[in-house]
Structure 1
Amino acid sequence: MDVLEKDEFLKAYRSISTQLKKKFVGFRQEVKRPNVIDAVDGFESLSRQQLDLGFTELSAACRLAAAQLEQSIGLNAGPSSSSRPGVEYNNLYVESARTFSKSNEQVTTYECYEGAINSTNDASLAWFTSMEAGQTALCLSDYQNAISFFTKAFKLAENDTEKTLSGNCLASSFIRQGYFTEALKILVTIQANQNNLLTQTLLALNLKKYGHGESQLSNILLDVFKKSCNSFHPQSLQYAVDELKLGELDEASIQTIWSYLNIDQQQLLLYLLNSN
Structure 2
Amino acid sequence: MKKLSLSIILLITLFFAGCMEFPSQEPDIGTVRVFLTDAVIPVEDIDSLMVRIESISLYGDEDQPVVISDTPFEVDIVTLVGATYELPNTSSVSGIYNQLRMEVGAATLTANGEIFPVTVNSGSLKINDLDLTIDENATTTVVLDFDLSKSLIINGRWEDLKIEEDNGGINSRKDKVHMTPVLHVRHGSLFDVTGVASSSIYPLLVALFPENGGEALTTFTHEDNSIWDQGEFRFCKVVSGDYRIEFFDNYTDEGFSIDESESRYQPLFVTVVDRDVDLGTIVLVEK
Q: TM-score range by the shorter chain?
A: under 0.3
Of structures 1 and 2, the one with the larger relative CO (CA 8 A, separation 6+) is 2
- Relative to the length of structure 2, the TM-score reads 0.22
Bigger radius of gyration, 1 or 2?
1
> Greater strand share, 1 or 2?
2
- Relative to the length of structure 1, the TM-score reads 0.22
> Greater helix share, 1 or 2?
1
